[in-house]
Chain A
Amino acid sequence: MEATLQILLEIQHIDQRLSELDNPEHVLQFEKLGFQWQPEHRQQLIELRAKRAAQIDAELLAHYQGLKERYGAAIVPIDGGICLGCFMMIPTAWVQDIRQSLSVKTCGHCGRILFWVG
C-alpha cells in the first residue's frame, strides 16, 4: 500500500480511538462489558499521532484535518465507483488505482480521501 495512505489510515484509526475515549457514554458501555479504558494513557496516543502526522506532507495533513472537522471521517470507501462520502461517481480510470492503493486520490466532488475496501 502507498505509504502516505497507510499513515493517513493509521491517523484516522487513532482519531477514532480518541473520539471513543472522549465519549463518556461509549467508555461506560465498554467498561460495563469488562473492557478497560485508561484515559490517562490518552497522551501516549496523541504523541503517536503527532509522530505519524510529521511523516506526511503538511498540505495533505491540513487537507485531512479540514475534512475531519467538516465531515467527521476524512477517508471514505468507494463502492461500485461511487464515493461513499458524497455518493457521487468517481472517474473510472481512478478506480483501479484506488483499488490497488497506488496513490492518494481525493473525490472530485467532496474532496474526501478515497479508499478501496476489499
Chain B
Amino acid sequence: MPTTKKTSSKSAKSAAAKAPAKPALTGLAAYFDEALFLPELKSKNKAEAFEEMVDALCATLGKQHKQTLLSMLHHREMLGTTGIGRGVAIPHGRTLLTRHLRVVFGRSNTGIDYGARDSEPVNLIFLVVAPFQDRGNVYLPTLGKLVELVRAKPNRDKLMEIETFDQFVEALSAPTA
C-alpha cells in the first residue's frame, strides 16, 4: 500500500477518534431515524400522506414493499380512524416487513384532510410499524407513549416549531401530560 494512503487512512482514523461520537438514541427516540423525519409533508390528504411516509420507510425496508405496507395501513383505517384528534394521527400496524419497530414522523404545516375523530385537519403524523413477533413487547407501550406525548398542548406546539432532527429528539423527551 502506498505511504500516502497509509497516512490519509491514519489521519482519517485519528479524525474519527477525535470527532465526538453521537450518542445512541434512547427511550422513545430510539425508534426514530433522521431518514424517517419528514418535517415538511407536501400531502393534502391521508392517502397521499401515507404514500409520502411509506416512501421514506421503503428506502430502508425495500421499495418492493410499498404496496403491501400501504394496504396494511389502509386496512387499519377501514376499521376506524387513527386520527386521534387535536391535529394528531398515529397510523399503525404489525407487519412481517420489518424486524424492529420503526416510526416515521411527518408534519404538515397546512394540515391534512385525515378524517380524524374530531374532523379537524391533521398536522402531526407518527406512522408506526412493528414486527409480528414483537419479542420485547414494545408496540403497545410505544403507541401509549406517543399518545401521552401529544396529549400535552405544549408538546404539540413544540413539535410544530422544531426544525431539525436533534430538536425533534429533544422534544420527544419532554414531560408528558
Contact = CB atoms under 8 A, between A and B. Distances in A.
Interface string A27-54: 0011001111111011011001000000
A64 interface: no
A117 B80 contact: no
A117 B117 contact: no
Contacts of A73: 132
Nearest to A36: B80
Nearest to A1: B64
B84 interface: yes
B75 interface: yes
Nearest to A6: B68
B65 A33 contact: no
Interface of A: 1, 6, 9-10, 12-14, 16-17, 21, 29-30, 33-39, 41-42, 44-45, 48, 73, 75-77, 84, 101, 115, 117-118
A6 B117 contact: no
Nearest to B80: A36
B79 A29 contact: no
Given A33-B84, A36-B80, A36-B117, A17 B75 contact: yes
Contacts of A117: 96-99, 131
Contact of A13 (B68, B80, B81, B147): B68
A41 B96 contact: no
Contacts of A36: 79-82, 117
Contacts of A44: 78
Interface residues of B, number: 34
B64 A13 contact: no
Contact of B94 (A10, A16, A45, A75): A16
Contacts of B90: 35
Contacts of A39: 79
A19 to B, nearest CB: 10
In this complex, the member of A6, A33, A48 whose beta carbon has the largest number of chain B beta carbons within 10 angstroms is A33
B71 A13 contact: yes
B160 interface: no
B96 A115 contact: yes
Q: Which of B65, B80, B82, B99 has the most CB of A within 10 A?
A: B80
Nearest to A31: B80
B96 A12 contact: yes
A77 B96 contact: yes
A85 to B, nearest CB: 10
Given A10-B68, A33-B143, 9 more contacts: A6-B68, A9-B96, A10-B71, A17-B93, A33-B147, A39-B79, A41-B79, A42-B79, A117-B97
Instruction: List the 10 shortest-distance A-B pairs measured between CB atoms, nearest first.
Output: A36-B80, A34-B84, A1-B64, A38-B80, A13-B72, A33-B147, A37-B80, A118-B62, A36-B81, A9-B68
